[in-house]
Amino acid sequence: MKSIAYVASLLALASAAPGIAQTALPSFSEPSLSPDAATIAFVSGGDIWEVPASGGAAHLLVSDAATEGRPFYSPDGTRIAFTSTRDGGNANIYVLDLPSARLTRITYGEVNEELDGWSPDGKFLYFASSANNIGRFTDVMRVPA
């Protein structure tokens, strides 16, 4: 397996070479493993994708002109909570029911909210928000899922 330093040096060398066409590489971030470890949800291009953990083709789960992020599977694996800027610019929390594809908005914050995860029983979502503080310090909050 190539080291990160080795790969970084190759990328730096390639970017410094004049006359060589550059191709943008896709960006994959914020991976979340399903409870059964069979599937990975991740963010790419501001959308949420899902791919088998064993490898294979990814498919699009959530797409909008807004930016989606921080996907988290529910403990039973039937839902994915995530943040989205789709309703006004601030990141709020949404839940996608995987079997029905039903999307539910959970929070209506006036500031960005940072999703942290599910409660073990799947009844609550935890997130960080500075909405209730004058100094905009962050509080950890819980909301019914």
pLDDT in tens, 2-39: 444 443 443 444 455 555 556 666 678 999 999 999 99
Q: How far apart are CA 137 and CA 132, in angstroms?
A: 9
Least confident of 44-53, 101-110, 131-140: 131-140
Confidence of residue 130 (pLDDT cuts 50, 70, 90): confident
User: Is beta strand 139-144 parallel, antiparallel or unpaired with respect to 124-129?
Assistant: antiparallel
pLDDT in tens, 70-127: 999 999 999 999 999 998 788 999 999 999 999 999 999 888 889 999 999 999 999 9
Residue owning tokens 């960080």: 128
What's the mean pLDDT in 60-75?
Answer: 94
Contact 74, 122 (CB under 8 A): yes
Least confident of 44-48, 60-64, 128-132: 128-132
Confidence of residue 137 (pLDDT cuts 50, 70, 90): confident
Q: How far apart are CA 122 and CA 37, in angstroms?
A: 17
Would you state the structure tokens that stand for residue 18, as one six-digit string? Answer: 């004049």
Whether pTM exceeds 0.75 = yes
